[in-house]
Structure 1
Amino acid sequence: MALTDEAITKIRAMIRSGELPPGARLPPEPQLAAQIGLSRSGVREAVKVLEAARVLDVRRGDGTYVTSLGPRLLLEGLGLAVELLRDDTLLEVMEVRRLLEPMATGLAAVRMSAEDLDALGKILEDMRSARDDAELLLQYDMEFHRTVVAATGNETLASVLEGLSTRTVRARVWRGLIEGNAAHITLAEHEAIYHALVARDQLLAQSTAMVHVNTSEAWLRAILSAG
């Protein structure tokens, strides 16, 4: 493990320094091992770890390449980790969402294009039409927030929030809303967010998003308390 860790550290250093930029092909294993002064087995295990982390792309019969290193690619494992969190830790995830999502929504208010707003309006119409279909509501809910955050133009922020707002977590919240006959509340909150974005009111967009996250957190707490 020590040799593998050292190999990982040295390969990452080569990537950070620009010696191996995104898209670059790594030297063959024997050459890379000699270059960094470690065994081939250590290099081989390091490559496996970095491939799992989406830093490297191993193409059978072709070679090993540095990926694009884009935030969406490197952070996609966050959602998988969130899916495995225990109930009490999910509430911590909601707390992080409460810190990030309102700020992202406020940022979107000053960055959204007319086309983005049109698309968001259409999603909102779909949500109203599907108010009695929990599965469709969940789908449109995720699409609504994904559209808002994507409009910030910040791929890292979008990737983090996507990972924190997995389908499973949102499904649990929506189950509570539907069972509690309170779907109309969150629909009204989505409408408030939309109108704040149309008005390009950054502070109002933050506030309406904060109210919405608080509602989601409250219903998740209720679901978890009920077991």
Structure 2
Amino acid sequence: MAVTDAAIDRIKEMIVSGELAPGARLPKEADLAERLGLSRNSLREAVRALALINVLDVRQGDGTYVTSLEPRLLLDALSFVADFHRDETVLEFFQVRRILEPSATGLAAVHMDDAAVRELRAILDELPQEPSAEDLAANDLRFHRRIAEGSGNAVLAALLESLSGPATRARVWHGLTQDGAAARLREQHTAIYTAIASRQPDVARAWATVHVAGVEEWLRRPT
């Protein structure tokens, strides 16, 4: 494993230094192994590991390429992990969301253009009057994703997407529908939207904190 780790580090150095740019094709396996002083088996293991975390893209019959390295792509693995966690760990993910979500919402109030604000209003209006748990989860995901995208910070948006993906939201909302959550969701989303639309970042941050903390409070209740 130590040899594979060394191979990963060597490829990482080539990417970080700019020798291999996003979208660049890696040299042929034999040439790259010789150049890096590695066995071809070690190089293959390193490439496989980097492909799993979306740093490299192995295209059969074509070659191996550096991906776009966009934050959303690289943080996919975190989303995968988040979807598997339950109980206390899910609560910890929400605690992180409570830190990051208000910041993204405040930034959105400053940076979202009028067209994006209208999109946010349209998402609000798409929630049915008597939504199912699936409706709530899907609408909540789209609403917060649009806000995160509107923050103007791609890393922050990717982190938030990873921390609470569709599977995590579905589990939470299935429980919350038993507790009259639909009305609160609509009320709080509307308040967040209004603050963003009126360009009030402090108010937007406050409502986002209330919204995420409310879900966190529910998760803390004994079952």
TM-score (ref. length: structure 2)? 0.96
2:98 maps to which residue? Answer: 98
Matched, 1:8 2:18: no
Contact 2:192 2:204 (C-alpha < 8 Å) held by counterparts: yes
Residue 12 of structure 1 aligns with an amino acid whose one-letter code is K
2:117 maps to which residue? Answer: 117
> Residue 34 and residue 122 in structure 1: after superposition, are their counterparts in 2 closer, same or farther (change >3 A)?
same
Matched, 1:195 2:201: no
Query: How many residues end up aligned between the 2 structures?
Result: 223
Residue 2 of structure 2 aligns with an amino acid whose one-letter code is A
User: CA offsets, 1:48-106, max 9 Å, x none?
Assistant: 11111111111111111111111111111111101122411111111100100001000
Instruction: Using the aligned pairs only, state the percent identity.
Output: 50
> Residue 71 and residue 182 in structure 1: after superposition, are their counterparts in 2 closer, same or farther (change >3 A)?
closer
1:198 to partner: Cα distance: 1.0
Matched, 1:88 2:84: no
1:170 maps to which residue? Answer: 169
1:151 maps to which residue? Answer: 150
Residue 41 of structure 2 aligns with an amino acid whose one-letter code is S
1:114 to partner: Cα distance: 0.6
Looking at structure 2, the residues matched to 44 and 133 of structure 1 have their Cα atoms a distance apart, in angstroms, of 47
> Residue 134 and residue 43 in structure 1: after superposition, are their counterparts in 2 closer, same or farther (change >3 A)?
same
1:177 to partner: Cα distance: 2.5
Residue 55 of structure 2 aligns with an amino acid whose one-letter code is V
TM-score (ref. length: structure 1)? 0.94
What SS is found at the alignment partner of 1:24?
A: coil
1:182 to partner: Cα distance: 3.3
What SS is found at the alignment partner of 1:192?
A: helix
Q: Which runs of 5+ in 2 are unaligned?
A: none
What SS is found at the alignment partner of 1:54?
A: coil
2:23 maps to which residue? Answer: 23
Instruction: Give me the CA root mean square deviation.
Output: 1.2
Residue 64 of structure 1 aligns with an amino acid whose one-letter code is T
Looking at structure 1, the residues matched to 198 and 24 of structure 2 have their Cα atoms a distance apart, in angstroms, of 45
